[in-house]
Chain A
Amino acid sequence: MTDRQEGQRVIPFPHGGIVVLVGPSNSGKTTLLRRLVQEGVLLQTEIVSSDDYRTLVGDVEYIDWKGRPREEADILYGDYQLLSNLAFEAMNTVVSMRCRLGKLTVVDATHLQPEYRRKYIDLAAGHDLPCAAWILDLPEQTLLERDKSRDQPRGRQRVKQQFVQFKRSLRGLRDEGFDFTYMLKETESVQFIRKKNPLLAEIGAGVDVIGDIHGCYDEMLELLGRLGYTPDDAGLYRHPDGRTLISVGDVMSRGPKSLDTMRFWKKHCDAGTARMIDSNHGWKIARYLSGRQVTLGHGDENIAAELAQLALEAGGEEADALREELKQFLLSAPSHLVLCREGVRRVVVAHAGIRDEYIGKQSKRIQDFCRYGDTDGLDATGAPVRKEWYVEHESGELIVWGHDPRPYPTVVKNTVNIDQGAVFGGSLTAYRYPEQKFVSVKAYQDYARDPDSPLIRWERGRFSPPNLRKLVEGYSVMTDAYGEISVRGEFVKAAIDTVSHFTIPMEELVYIPPTMSPAPAVSADEAYLEHPREAIAYYRSQGVKTMVAEKKHMGSRAVLLLFRDEAAAVPYVGRPTLGTVYTRTGRAFFGKDTETEVLSRLSSDLHQAGYWARYDTDLLLLDAEIIPWNLKARELIATQYAHVAEAAAMDREQLLGKLREAENAGRDVSGWVQEMEGKLKNARVFREAFQQYCWDTSGLDGVRIAPFHTLAHSGRTFFDQSHLWHMEHGRELAGVSPLFMETEFRTVTSEADEADVIRWWEELTEDGHEGIVIKPETFIVRSGKGLIQPAIKVRGRKYLHIIYGMDYLQPDNLARLKLRKTGKKERHALMECALSVESVERFIRKEPLERMHECVLAALSLESDPVDPRL
């Protein structure tokens, strides 16, 4: 590219769209384009030329009819017309496709007729792209001279005719609707440059996107402080890592300090450390400041008042200067921003949302969409239809938006809403990328005092049924612990069926207990399939220093959601109830009467012990094991385990008898006899194994509930507490009600602890107990990039008979079983863990039912995706 010279005329290319060259033959269009390609300003592929397409379609670029007899000339002229029409059709198809990709296309043809030019204006507008006209206006004499030296001269008469046509069409050209027109008397001295797409920005050291501020200036400064920004000598807030601040717009109106906030963003945008995009309030204020007739409402009137106040205090001149400054600033705000990493679009910031096909483009239609969102969603009665643009977001970028306040950042289909209604007394949110973290500051007060504020309306709609369309074909949930988790439609449908037919009401289904994997490695000891050594080694390899080993009760997994009293349940689940007890698939654990008995018993025990008052909570959410096993699994035990035990024993006893007879009769079957003795022993171990976990109960007598996770109280979850805390809390609960029992556990830090735990495990399991679960000290642990297993089960040698079959320990069986693969189980365990944490968090934050249910439904969907049930 040549250096720009002083006073040289510079013409920019739009970054995408159509440039229409206008000029008669010989005006130098092709020559100019050739030069630009040589200069590297233009790609050859960005040029389409009618001459080329005539050649492509009809092998010749021109058909000469001059000097022919009349009849022949007519035929040749007809041929040329047809060729030209087809060539244009082909060419315009290509132009249209390039527009769909947002590419720049320069059309090299004479474009002497307004109707030819119109086509490109419409085509570009249809794709939300600009259309520019470059008009090459050269003297007739030059054209005629150039024609003579051409390979196929068009002829004097035709050139003159074109020139007249050109001059005529110049008159109205500027009003035809081109976004830009450039008149060029010559091209040699003009410099052409490529414009970058102003909507693109690099992510660089990271970005912090700030939600709708609405003049909540003080909260904003607090938020910046929390994000690590500090003012420099010039008063510019800078992040030590050089991160960029981005505003989703609506920094002004409604709140107390609109002018300060706008000044702040102008200053930082000017300094290049921040970007702010256009928004509905921003656009309104821009037009107001431009002197347009607008009615100020929805808090926009506060700005007029602030400006009047400023004029009063600092004088009209200063106020006018600020008006002018802010006007320019707001008018120049881009409709949206596309943040890229190494040229790949990663994040889109748009105030009220954006359609996938608008990303990276700018037009009036797109500007309006980004300011106001999907506005055609009104039904006949004028009520807004629940139509949500983000449901249709399929392209891979993460869209960050504001505009529509909701109490918590909302993640739907790779879109994040970060307007938490600061001005309505909610909070001001920042979204950090690439960390994908939210940081928020609670508003100091409800500035808007709107009795029908979006946050209040949101609260009213808490228990609205989940929008099936968002879920049924598959969807993803953004979890704090694991990031995005996607579930496939086929599994979602199965889960929807489960929820519609079999589970407890979805309002009360707040958590699905996550599945748990055994250690990735099987036991190195040839006598064992699973052993604590591998589980501990797994955690050590992930950098975990302290572990907790808990006894695993063999019963049925249960979730207990208990309320202080019936009324306390209403804000959480929308109906008065003492609570619910459900299985790991969301079905009621007990029959109606037993459940009532369990709940009232626990309720009265907890009251008597002063539990509710001591923790100042209205609810208690527990993850537990309820024993004995036969309480819930009697039918399964009878028809599967006991039945198999009876069959095996009968088969092997009879055969052993016969083989001994055969041996006595002199057959050489001592090996077979030995084999059968071993097998009969296996059958007996099997038969004993499951009886360990079963005993008779009568009413609640003999029923024990062993909570191992205390998941939540009112307004608080306990995922941040160590497992030692959870174990101790379990002990406390065991002291509160005889229905509860504590769980034995050990801590593992040293080698000696490890040996101790192995000994303990051996004793337990030799005694027939199921085994132990080993967990890192804290709930959620990351190693490097990923989450590590929140728990690893180590099942006992005897217990595993009822899982892998009675003969699993036979060396050739065990060797093959050791080839098992735990990958899918581990992935599911991580995802289900993240989902379950997420759903409890959302439940405790009293988020809309739909937000909690999407986690629960995703966990149920993962459970419908088959994984080897023996793991």
Chain B
Amino acid sequence: MHLIIRAAGAGAGMLSRLLAKNPNNLYDRMEKDARVRIVFTASSEEEAEAVIFVTPDPVELVKGASSAHNDITQYINDREFVVSSLFCTYIRSALGTALNGKTKEAYLPWVERKLALELTFGPVASNLPDVVLEGLFTALGYEVMLERGHAGYTFDLKSRSSVRYIRLKGMQTLQTALRQLFVLIPALDDYKHYYISEDEVDKIRRYGEGWLEDHPQRGLILKRTLRFADAIRQYESLTSGGDPLEGTQAPDEASGEMAETAEKEALFPRVAAAAAEAGAAPKVRLNDLRYAAIADVVENLSLRRSIVDFGSGEGKLSARLSSVPGVREIKAVEPSATAQLRAMDRFARLEGKAGVPVPEPVTGSLFYYDESLRSKDVMILCEVIEHIDEYRLGRVMETIFHEYAPGALIITTPNKEYNEVYEMDQEEMRHGDHRFEWSREAFAAWCSRWTEAYNYSVRLSGIGEFVQDYGYPTQMAIFTKEDTL
């Protein structure tokens, strides 16, 4: 990780003075566990160049790394090499005088003077596309040159290198140029080594003074440096200037792989159109419709004291069901600890509400047997079965009907026919993890298989916006245990 500052022409000789470094000496200090060095390759009055580079201790750097990433990537990563907030931290004290502008009185006039600067730094690991990256600096009046790393391998691996080298040219005071880099280098980098504290907000405010307020990409810069809405709001209130932030999120360089969205329904025009024709209220998410429909079914069951919500995820449905009158116990069964933690936050908010049972998070899944789930009044599999390979589903259902034997079993699953309404391809599924999606006929046939084998009856219905010939987006089956008398 390094930064090269080059000054040419009038005042170039001032570079070393503004940096408060004797160009004939080598600067070599330890900053935390990193060695920070500065050497001048030139120091005449017309041309001066300082090379600032940092060598972190590779052994110390990976010590005590977070156990959340307990794999080799914790040890083999680019932190040792690329410019980042870490780099800025290391070099801050070496460049302290220049950053503060508190130089010797004799050189003070030069603090305010613009010099013909060339700033070179890298390597940069950033997912911002070239054009966005360039834009960040051209907006500040620099000429930008980008260089990519070397990405030729003996086998087909990548089309271009994932590291870049940046060279900026422009007229700027040394202090402002450095301050710009201290804000923009962390913004470019894909990774942050610190938690966002108030100090950080203050630092951005100080370093950004006089240029960041009016930067056209201010929103993007803040988002990438401060990351959290609270911190950004705090910054905004401190500076109380600039346009409100909007539309500033630049696409990732690797934009091909969009994060998997749970629902595609929200994006589809024909549904919206259908809703509009029906003069419907603003579109409610299908998820919420499902929860409401299930709560409705549960409320109309005569036996509804105890409920098992299988695959409860972040606990939205369980929390919703806790307010259904007559429900006394909800077991929210979910294998993922991360989801379960979020569910627990949600459930904690129900604590202390009169007459509302707080759902109990239970670690578990349909592939295991849990005797504590036997003979409950209601068992719910909301958008669960389609995540199970069809050939495994039989055994799962055997366990439910034979071992758990709930009073009622509610199952929801996508209606494949409706995908056409969403203008999806024939073979496309609504979620990457769906193992199947069934037509209404297939689902009905599957349901009757279970009513034939077990003493249950079934009622089929749908959830969401009905479209003629396609049905509802979600299918629902309500199995009820027949009296054995």
Contact = CB atoms under 8 A, between A and B. Distances in A.
B151 A696 contact: no
A138 interface: no
A650 B125 CA distance: 12
Interface in A644-689: 644, 646-651, 654-655, 658-659, 661-662, 665, 667-669, 672
Contacts of B59: 813, 816-817
Contacts of A648: 80-81
A640 B76 contact: yes
Contacts of B168: none
B195 interface: no
Nearest to B67: A866
B464 to A, nearest CB: 26
Nearest to A801: B76
B154 A468 contact: no
B39 interface: yes
Nearest to A651: B81
Contacts of B249: none
Given A575-B391, A870-B72, A646 B154 contact: no
B2 interface: yes
A804 B391 CA distance: 44
Contacts of B58: 805, 807-808, 813
Interface string B34-59: 00010111100000000101000011
Given A496-B364, A665-B42, A672-B39, A869 B155 contact: no
Contacts of A802: 76
A782 interface: no
Contacts of A646: 123, 149-151, 161-163
B155 A695 contact: yes
Task: Specify which of B24, B82, B163 lies most central, judged by the most chain A CB atoms within 10 Å of its CB.
Answer: B163
A698 to B, nearest CB: 10
Interface in B281-308: none
Contact of A379 (B73, B76, B162, B375): B375
A866 B154 contact: no
B307 to A, nearest CB: 18
Interface in A621-653: 628, 630, 634, 636-644, 646-651
Contact of A655 (B51, B149, B374): B51
A464 B369 contact: yes
B368 A465 contact: yes
A647 B375 contact: no
Interface in A584-624: none
Contacts of B370: 467-469
B193 interface: no
Nearest to A669: B39
Contacts of B82: 647, 651
B389 interface: yes
B11 interface: no
A174 interface: no
B365 interface: yes
Interface stretch (A151-159, A381-389, A513-521, A713-721): A381-389
A332 interface: no
B237 interface: no
Interface residues of B, number: 67
Interface stretch (A211-219, A479-487, A500-508, A835-843): A500-508
Task: Specify which of B77, B120, B375 lies most central, judged by the most chain A CB atoms within 10 Å of its CB.
Answer: B77
Given A463-B395, A494-B337, A816-B59, A642 B41 contact: no
B157 interface: yes
Contact of A638 (B62, B157, B165): B157
A642 B24 CA distance: 38
Nearest to B311: A500
A497 B157 contact: no
A575 B390 CA distance: 12
Interface in B367-396: 367-372, 374-375, 389, 391-392, 395
B66 to A, nearest CB: 10
A345 interface: no
Contacts of B188: none
Contact of A667 (B2, B26, B74): B26
Contacts of A501: 335-336
B153 A642 contact: yes
Contact of A650 (B165, B365, B392): B165
Nearest to A653: B150
Contact of B335 (A471, A497, A628, A808): A497
A639 B41 contact: no
Given A467-B371, A654-B2, A654-B122, A644 B40 contact: no
A126 B389 CA distance: 53
A493 B67 CA distance: 17
Interface string A450-487: 00000000000001111111011000000000000000
B72 A667 contact: no
A467 B368 contact: yes
A55 B363 CA distance: 55
A386 B371 contact: yes
Given A643-B78, A669-B39, A658 B158 contact: no
Given A465-B399, A472-B364, A662-B51, A638 B158 contact: yes
A659 B399 contact: no
A279 B156 CA distance: 71
A665 B75 contact: no
Contacts of A641: 76
Nearest to A576: B391
Contacts of B120: 654
A496 B67 CA distance: 20
Contacts of A467: 368-371
A637 B157 contact: yes
A173 interface: no
Closest A-B pairs by Cβ, 10 of them: A500-B365, A646-B149, A500-B335, A468-B368, A647-B81, A866-B70, A465-B369, A661-B41, A497-B335, A468-B370
Given A651-B123, A694-B154, 11 more contacts: A379-B374, A500-B368, A646-B123, A647-B81, A648-B81, A650-B122, A655-B2, A691-B154, A804-B75, A805-B76, A805-B80
12 contacts: A468-B370, A643-B162, A647-B82, A647-B125, A648-B81, A650-B150, A651-B1, A665-B41, A665-B42, A667-B41, A694-B155, A805-B75
